[in-house]
Amino acid sequence: MTVFEAGKFDIAVIGAGHAGVEAALAAARLGARTVCFTINLDAVANMPCNPCIGGTAKGQLVREIDALGGEMGRAADACALQFRMLNLGKGPSVYSPRAQIDRMQYRAYMKRTMERQENLELKQAEIVELCVKDGAVRGVITQTGAFYAAKAVIIATGTYLEGRLIIGEWSRTGGPDGMFAAESLGASLKKAGLSLRRFKTGTPARIHRRSVDLSCMDLQPGDCPPRAFSFDTENVRENSEVCYVTWTTEETRRIIMENLHRSPLFGGDIKGVGPRYCPSIEDKVVRFPDHPRHQLFLEPTGADSDEMYLQGMSSSMPEDVQLAMMRTVKGLERVEVQRPAYAIEYLCVDPTELYQSLEHKSVRGLYGAGQFNGTSGYEEAAAQGLMAGINAARSLQGLPPVILTRSQGYIGVLIDDLVTKGTDEPYRMMTSRAEYRLILRQDNADDRLCRIGHDIGLVSDEKLRRTEEKYTAVRSEMDRLAATRIPATPESDRILTEAGSEPFIGTAALDALLRRPGVGYETLAPLDAERPELPRDVWEEAEILVKYEGYIRREQERVAKFERMESRGIPRDIDYNDIRGLRIEAREKLSRLRPENLGRAGRISGVSPADIAVLMIWLENRRVNGEGETKA
């Protein structure tokens, strides 16, 4: 094949899914001349699985992407069919925004955004070779022989990299939604020295709305009023669709168990490792034999489509078995399947081979993002894509990488988990992974990260000004609540009693009353004669900060200790074999992963607190002997 020079760019992005879109937009917006390749231009920002954005922990990621200047939040707001805030029955640390999305409109929005972005070219082409010379990337070659020179390359291949579709006994190479797979790039990456392995994911069937009896299912409406993802969105779209809930039955279980011998998952045809937290229906039935039924959600895929997504029934069973088990579900007795469920295997990298900047340790200028890094989910992919795009552009500009810590955001937790601990299965973000989740709430992502986004160059002066004004108003309202005392009256007795709280004697400060369980900001409104007219997000933020003040203070103390460990740097050229007292496993893990600081070293699986104590003594002796202290 004749190779010809097709153009010179600063950054080439391979893939235009959720990771690739954010990476390309961020790089271009930071001034890097960027080219983004996709196998099919009609699949830009495709949602091959669940047609939604956000959810538990994932919604926090979207809010953080938005606060840093990414695109996903704005796109979700523009294309939403239904907004819901999850976990409102729990504490604010786990409140998580979620929106049902018109997937066709979302694709069009993102494609249009990329096409109109200065410094960015979007091209339909399959990349078959990564060009590496002297340990650094030089560019990429397409299937048709076009060579694009690039100083940095971001791999965001999703599930396309040597993808294999599986339905029962049938399988073939392919990408999601029947697209072509990227069949040749994997060999080039292995040649460059990357360690690749196979993961597996899957998606449920799409069914026709007219074939479903929705009247016998539980209705799942959206929030009123709806709440947007982006801090920029002023006029939130009204909810135009509802979702529905139904359940599997004992008959569903029987059909699955009688056909397990035909399952490629249990028959051994599927080799890739699947996600533990999003198992197929057959896996759920086998793993949870005491559960008589499993919850299913019917969700719309678009305002102009009658396809519905059957969440909770992911499967790789043969098509006839899928149809039989679906028709045992209440409301699906006459279901028409438009797209059967399928499993897909694909190649991904070992993320411990990456720095926290998401650059590969062995190939300079090569970055990974999204499912290529071993994650699962649109939001996780977009977050990594944003950071990879930022750091690739900054590297070319001679600037240090932007690395968020675990105390700064869910994005920091996500990337730190991947590059420090690695993952043996598709990684999914959860609130339980964030040890400081009370201060990493979805509502304060703008306060935490907007200034960082502005310093990077992705957040405008106007957005930063609005954010600062918002939190000035929050602090002012907190001060007012602390300074305002109200007298006990029959009205106050009644309101507090109805809220499940005890009346008070004499006078009481509003902030003290607000800290009581069951008493909210709006509960006190009839007693608060001086209450100002404030935007909802302002008084909600003030309410959270007042009500959880003690818990937040303790969390901040924990963060201070964490940051002290993160600031203790470890020299990259250290020979761990020379440190007496380290266990063999710790030496091997530390030598391979090369953590930048004591905090990261302590989070490596197989490195014990005793090993960290030995390492701290070694670093202190090094400092005392005049070799200096390494700063992280």
What is the overall mean pLDDT for the chain?
Answer: 95
* Cβ-contact 316, 341 below 8 angstroms: yes
Over range 252-275, report the average pLDDT: 89
* Residue 92's pLDDT band (cuts 50, 70, 90): very high
Alpha-carbon dihedral sign for residues 397, 378, 366, 125? negative
Q: Which residue has the higher pLDDT, 623 or 250?
A: 250
List C-alpha distances in Å: 605 to 120, 425, 429: 40, 15, 18
Integer Cα distance of 34 and 11 in angstroms: 5
Q: Shortest CA distance to 324 belongs to which of 268, 388, 257?
A: 257
Q: Shortest CA distance to 203 belongs to which of 165, 169, 235?
A: 165
Integer Cα distance of 534 and 532 in angstroms: 6
Residue 632 reports pLDDT greater than 80: no
Burial classification of residue 66, based on how many CB atoms lie within 10 Å of its CB (0-12 exposed, 13-18 middle, 19 or more buried) = buried
Residue 560 reports pLDDT greater than 60: yes
pLDDT digits (tens, 9 = 90+) for 511-544: 999 999 999 999 999 999 999 999 999 999 999 9
Integer Cα distance of 612 and 599 in angstroms: 9
Instruction: Give the pair of three-digit tokens for residue 463.
Output: 């957005």
Give residue for tokens 């795009």.
389
Can you give the pLDDT at residue 625? 77
- Lowest mean per-residue pLDDT among 95-99, 404-408, 489-493, 611-615: 611-615
Q: CB neighbours (10 Å) of residue 579?
A: 17
Integer Cα distance of 95 and 607 in angstroms: 33
Can you give the pLDDT at residue 279? 85
Ramachandran angles phi, psi of 259, nearest 5°: -115, 15
Which amino acid, residue 469?
A: E
In terms of phi and psi (left: phi > 0; alpha: psi -120 to 50; beta: otherwise), the region of 174 is left
Instruction: Give the pair of three-digit tokens for residue 354.
Output: 């990456």
Q: Shortest CA distance to 15 belongs to which of 207, 146, 133, 159?
A: 159
DSSP code, position 578: G
Residue 482 reports pLDDT greater than 80: yes
* Cβ-contact 256, 282 below 8 angstroms: yes
What angle (nearest 5°) sits at the alpha carbon of residue 514, between those of residues 512 and 518? Answer: 130
- Lowest mean per-residue pLDDT among 122-126, 252-256, 342-346, 568-572: 568-572
DSSP code, position 262: G
Integer Cα distance of 429 and 94 in angstroms: 12
The angle, 0 to 180 degrees and rounded to 10, between the axes of the packed helices 378-396 and 18-29 is: 30
Integer Cα distance of 209 and 300 in angstroms: 9
Alpha-carbon dihedral sign for residues 85, 87, 92, 97? negative
* Parallel, antiparallel or unpaired: strands 146-155 and 4-14: parallel
In terms of phi and psi (left: phi > 0; alpha: psi -120 to 50; beta: otherwise), the region of 88 is alpha
* Cβ-contact 451, 404 below 8 angstroms: no
Give residue for tokens 């790039």.
185
* Residue 268's pLDDT band (cuts 50, 70, 90): confident
* Residue 48's pLDDT band (cuts 50, 70, 90): very high
Residue 631 reports pLDDT greater than 70: no
Integer Cα distance of 400 and 421 in angstroms: 23
Can you give the pLDDT at residue 566? 87
Report long-range pairs for 467-475 (Cβ below 8 Å, ≥24 apart): 467/231, 470/446, 470/535, 470/537, 470/538, 470/541, 471/447, 471/541, 473/534, 473/535, 473/538, 474/538, 474/541, 474/542, 474/545
Give residue for tokens 């299965």.
425
3 state SS of 169? coil
Instruction: Give the pair of three-digit tokens for residue 400.
Output: 């240090």
**Distance from first CA to last CA of the chain, Å, rounded?**
47
Which amino acid, residue 209?
A: R
Integer Cα distance of 226 and 99 in angstroms: 10
List C-alpha distances in Å: 589 to 305, 445, 582: 51, 34, 11
Cite the DSSP H helix spans in 362-489. 378-396, 410-416, 445-456, 461-483
Which amino acid, residue 69?
A: G
Which amino acid, residue 14?
A: I
DSSP code, position 282: H
pTM confidence score: 0.94
Residue 276 reports pLDDT greater than 80: no
Integer Cα distance of 628 and 632 in angstroms: 13
pLDDT digits (tens, 9 = 90+) for 362-373: 999 999 999 999
Residue 603 reports pLDDT greater than 60: yes
What does the DSSP assignment read for 43-86? Answer: GTT--SS-SEEE-TTHHHHHHHHHHHT-SHHHHHHHHEEEEEEE
Give residue for tokens 């929705």.
214
Q: Which residues pair with 38 in a beta bridge?
A: 124
Give residue for tokens 């059957």.
310
pLDDT digits (tens, 9 = 90+) for 176-232: 999 999 999 999 999 999 999 999 998 999 999 999 999 999 999 999 999 999 999
Task: List domains and CATH numbers for the chain.
Answer: 206-342 (2.40.30.260), 461-555 (1.10.10.1800), 567-627 (1.10.150.570)
pLDDT digits (tens, 9 = 90+) for 338-358: 999 999 999 999 999 999 999
